[in-house]
Amino acid sequence: VPTIKDVADRAGVHAATASRALNSATRGMVNTRTVTRVLEAAKALGYAPNSAARSLRTRTSSVAGVIIPDLRNPVFPPIVRGIEDGLREAGYMALLGNTDGDVDRERELFDAMRGRQTDGFILATSRRDDELPATVPTVLVNRRTDTGAVPSVTADNDAGVRMLVRLLVELGHSRIGHVAGPRQLSTGWERYRAFVDAVGGAEAVTFAAAFTEEAGFEAALRLLDAHEGLTAIVAGNDLIALGCYAALASRGLRVPDDVSVTGFNDIPFADRQRPGLTTIRIPHYDIGLESARLLLARIANPTAPAKRIVLPVDLVTRGSTGPAKN
Amino acid sequence: VPTIKDVADRAGVHAATASRALNSATRGMVNTRTVTRVLEAAKALGYAPNSAARSLRTRTSSVAGVIIPDLRNPVFPPIVRGIEDGLREAGYMALLGNTDGDVDRERELFDAMRGRQTDGFILATSRRDDELPATVPTVLVNRRTDTGAVPSVTADNDAGVRMLVRLLVELGHSRIGHVAGPRQLSTGWERYRAFVDAVGGAEAVTFAAAFTEEAGFEAALRLLDAHEGLTAIVAGNDLIALGCYAALASRGLRVPDDVSVTGFNDIPFADRQRPGLTTIRIPHYDIGLESARLLLARIANPTAPAKRIVLPVDLVTRGSTGPAKN
DNA sequence: TTGTACGCGTTATCAA
DNA sequence: TTGATAACGCGTACAA
């Protein structure tokens, strides 16, 4: 494997000069003719810089750490894909890690990645009360913290829930319940707050332990037991909504004839459910893309104020919502 | 950020001793008491080794490159998750990249990752005729090459297709068609070969241009136009099967009353389709896990013969298959 | 069992 | 505009 020394020798210059010629930022200080000589030599030898040596010297790596709860949750693949494309625009690559929501594992991963000279982090794992170390550029994606001290890219949870409630009200529903996501997560909390605000009251609400179908099923049963006569349920996200489907079926209730159900996220295959799920489409890919760009901006200028980017959402009406009974 | 020197100073030893104490392979040469002193110092300072320096010195990085077509294809998330867990067992991390099936982009990614001191590669992008450079440890996942020169971990495509054909035959089907995946990919080709072998003839076959719903739809239309009276279709994978659903619907044919349909992979939500898809369950996660382990073995011993691991599959019978019409 | 000395490949600083 | 030199942090022969 050729080193910069080999390139320099072949071009008849010193290694330092070759380095300057090879690096576009410093190329200006080098004679045009020597630049071409160096570039030719590099090409002829198939030279590729040793990034370990470069990282050691410059303390940068062009690698970002991406930490998510679980790639198998269908929200994340398109987000991660967007992140990767955004990073690539600047020659960055993504080091990926899953935590399964385990705080210790997150800490471990974070440290391990930082040890690998990661230039920054994109986290999809944060809880509302997280205190994140301000030592390394970090961006939150999909979720955020209460303080807003860390830059974030999220979907407009508030507007989304309002759209859903408005739709249900227009369909004649007045007894609307909410199976919320976890309180500790901004996604769960913001949607809950928006729901309470939109319907003007917080009676008919239960919280699911996680954004999963199982937790949604369990919380939906609790909701149904505590509140008779609900004609609609706003679920914290699509997976919880599917849990609601199952809970309603187990109680002999039909969707949407007896109870309408809505989700949030519009995950792949939400349209294929039985019935198709009325939900809020969030721009998964763009959320990822923007978070990558925000991180890159952050790396370039770490002291800039923490931006919060909120992307607009769309209502997608499908078969799971219908006119209120009676 | 503390260096090994800081740890050594705090423990009252030389940096070399600290290095030996920190590294489990060389820990044996160090006095037990000094080991604990060093470890305590490291912990107290929150020491994390600088991997750039370590890479420069050892020429290894504990990072593997993982290259896939597109994370948004639902087969890949569980595989990638398995890969990550497998790599983690040995302290490795995954650098992830998507190619969208573009060969140039794959080449680019490969080079960029190699420049970042990647110790090895796991590729889910290979075509049957790929000639892969033998210079760096590489493992193929889900797909393989014809020569078998590169180690691979795949599902048992042959057995899977035979199970499907047997099921259909038992249901009384005799006019069975196949919408195959791309010929250039081992997944498409192996399933096609198994189909031809199992039904004893290759008349009723069309090839989809890609493993997507759209390509499946288009190829299914061609199949239906060329072959009247088919009562069952074996699709190259689940997404193609969903394309078949759409194509059959557009011709006014019902699944499974008029035509039975089968898939391959058992992607998430295959059970939620209308009707639920009869398919072959492949062990996505384990395929990823095993490929990571195989890569690690390969890195440890690059000259060992190229193993081919084929994992068993299961038949999952759902609503898309039924008795043949007369 | 521990310390000394050196080099991995690159780039920043200083001098020429 | 170029060359010489040092330093980034670590691991490992070799010496003690």
In angstroms, how far is C15 C1' from A53 CA? 25
Give the mean pLDDT of A233-240.
98
How confident is the model at residue B198, as a pLDDT? Answer: 96
Residues B65/B118, Cβ–Cβ less than 8 Å: yes
Compute the nearest-CA separation of B60 from chain A (Å). 10
Q: What is the distance between the alpha carbons of residues B234 and B261, in angstroms, rounded to a whole number?
A: 6
Residue A15: CB less than 7 A from any atom in strand C: yes
Q: Which of residues 86-125 of B touch strand C (CB under 7 A)?
A: none
Between chains, do B77 and A77 touch, taking CB under 8 Å as contact? yes
Residue B241 has pLDDT above 90, yes or no: yes
Question: Is there a contact between B115 and A48 if contact means CB atoms under 8 Å apart?
Answer: yes
Is the pLDDT confidence value at B161 over 90? yes
The predicted pLDDT at position A112 comes to: 86
Nearest to A95 among B81, B85, B95 (CB): B95
Assess contact for B234 and B161: CB atoms under 8 A: yes
Report residue B218's pLDDT band, with 50, 70 and 90 as the boundaries: very high
Cα-atom radius of gyration of chain A, to the nearest Å? 25
Give the model confidence (pLDDT) of A196-218 as tens digits: 999 998 889 999 999 999 999 99
pLDDT band at A280 (very low <50, low <70, confident <90, very high): very high
Q: What tokens were used for A5?
A: 């020394």
Closest C1' nucleotide to B17's CA: C2
CA angle, B82 then A78 then B127, to 5°: 60
Lowest-confidence range among A297-306, B35-44, B78-87, B174-183?
Answer: A297-306
A140 has a pLDDT exceeding 80: yes
User: Is A326's pLDDT higher than 80?
Assistant: no
Question: Could you give the CA distance from residue B204 to residue B157 in angstroms, rounded to a whole number?
Answer: 19
- Facing B269 at nearest CB: one of A49, A98, A269: A269
CA distance B246 to chain A (A): 12
Reading the block at residue A68, the tokens are 């998510």
- Whether nucleic acid strand C comes within 7 Å of the CB of A31, the answer is no
Grade residue A146 by pLDDT with cuts at 50, 70 and 90: very high
Average the pLDDT over each of A152-161, A186-195, B103-112, B313-322 and give the range with the smallest value: B103-112
Structure tokens at B307: 């193993």
Buried b or exposed e, range A182-202, using 16+ CB within 10 angstroms: beebbbbbbbbebbbebbeee
| Separation between the CA of A42 and the C1’ of D1 (whole angstroms) | 20
B interface test, pick of A60, A100, A116, A320 with most B CB neighbours within 10 Å: A116
Flag the least confident range among A47-51, A288-292, B74-78: A47-51
Give me the CA B4–C1' C16 separation in Å, rounded: 37
Q: Collect all residues from B whose CB is shorter than 8 A from any CB in A.
A: 48-53, 55-56, 61-63, 70-72, 74, 76-78, 80-81, 84-85, 91, 93-98, 111-117, 268-269, 272-274
Write b or e for each residue in B145-156: b if 16 or more Cβ atoms lie within 10 A of its Cβ, otherwise e: beeeebbbbbbb
A269 CB neighbours in chain B (<8 A) are: 268-269, 272
- In chain A, which residues touch B (CB < 8 A)? 48-53, 55-56, 61-63, 70-72, 74, 76-78, 80-81, 84-85, 91, 93-98, 111-117, 268-269, 272-274
Give me the percent of chain B exceeding a pLDDT of 90.
89
SS3 B202: coil
Q: Which is nearest to A98 in space by CA: A75, A67, A135, A141?
A: A67
Distance between CA atoms of residues A116 and A111, nearest Å: 9
Q: For residue B115, what pLDDT band results from cuts at 50, 70 and 90?
A: confident
pLDDT of residue B41: 95
**What is residue A135's predicted lDDT score, i.e. its pLDDT?**
82
Distance of C1' in C9 from CA in A97, Å: 29
Query: How confident is the model over A60-113, as pLDDT tens digits?
Result: 999 999 999 999 999 999 999 999 999 999 989 999 999 999 999 998 899 889
Separation CA B97–CA B105 (nearest Å): 10
Tell me the mean pLDDT in the region A190-195.
Answer: 98
pLDDT of residue B117: 85
Structure tokens at B40: 């305590």
Q: Three-state SS for B209? A: coil
Q: Would you call A72 and B78 a contact, using CB atoms and an 8 Å cutoff? A: yes
pLDDT at A302 over 90: no
- How sure is the predictor about B325, in pLDDT bands with cuts at 50, 70 and 90? confident
- For residue A70, the tally of other CB atoms under 10 A from its CB is 17
Task: For residues A280-294, give the mean pLDDT.
Answer: 98
Q: Cβ of B50 and A117 within 8 Å?
A: yes
Q: What is the pTM of this model?
A: 0.94
Which residue, chain included where needed, has tokens 């489409």?
Answer: A281
Report if CB A57 to strand C is under 7 Å.
yes
**Residue-averaged pLDDT of chain A:** 95
Cβ atoms of B51 and B76 closer than 8 Å: no
SS3 A63: strand
- For residue A89, the chain B residues in CB contact (below 8 A) are none
Rounded to whole angstroms, how far apart are CA atoms B178 and B203? 9
Please indicate whether, in this complex, the C-beta atoms of A81 and B72 are within 8 angstroms of each other.
Answer: yes
Per residue in B244-291, pLDDT (tens digit) is 999 999 999 999 999 999 999 999 999 999 899 999 999 999 999 999
Cβ atoms < 10 Å from Cβ of B224: 21
What count of CB pairs under 8 Å joins A to B? 117
Q: Which residues contact residue A308 at a Cβ distance below 8 angstroms, ignoring those fewer than 6 apart?
A: A144, A148, A151, A152, A154
Nearest to A71 among B48, B80, B97 (CB): B80
User: Would the Cβ of A53 be found within 7 angstroms of any atom in strand C?
Assistant: yes
Q: Which of A4, A22, A56 best probes binding to B when mutated, by most B CB atoms within 10 angstroms?
A: A56
In tens, the pLDDT along A13-43 reads: 999 999 999 999 999 999 999 999 999 999 9
Residues of B in contact with A71 (CB under 8 A): 71, 77-78, 80-81, 84
**What's the pLDDT band for B229 if we cut at 50, 70, 90?**
very high
Find out whether B30 and B20 touch, Cβ atoms under 8 Å: yes
Spatial distance between the Cα atoms of A69 and B244, rounded to a whole number of angstroms: 34
pLDDT for residue B135 is more than 90: no
Footprint of strand D on the protein (CB under 7 A): A 12-17, 20, 29-31, 33-34, 53, 56-57; B 1, 3-5, 15-16, 19-20, 22-23, 25-26, 47, 49-50, 53-54, 56-58
B109 vs A295: CA distance, rounded Å: 21
B19-CA/D14-C1' distance, Å: 17
Question: Which residues in chain B are contacts of A265 at CB distance < 8 A?
Answer: none
Q: Are A271 and A318 in contact (CB under 8 A)?
A: yes
Model pLDDT for residues B45-98, shown as the tens digit of each residue: 999 899 999 999 999 999 999 999 999 999 999 999 999 999 999 989 999 999
Of A66, A72, A70, nearest in space to A84 by CA: A66
- Please state, rounded to an integer, the average pLDDT across all residues of chain B: 95
Query: Cβ–Cβ of A81/B63 closer than 8 Å?
Result: no
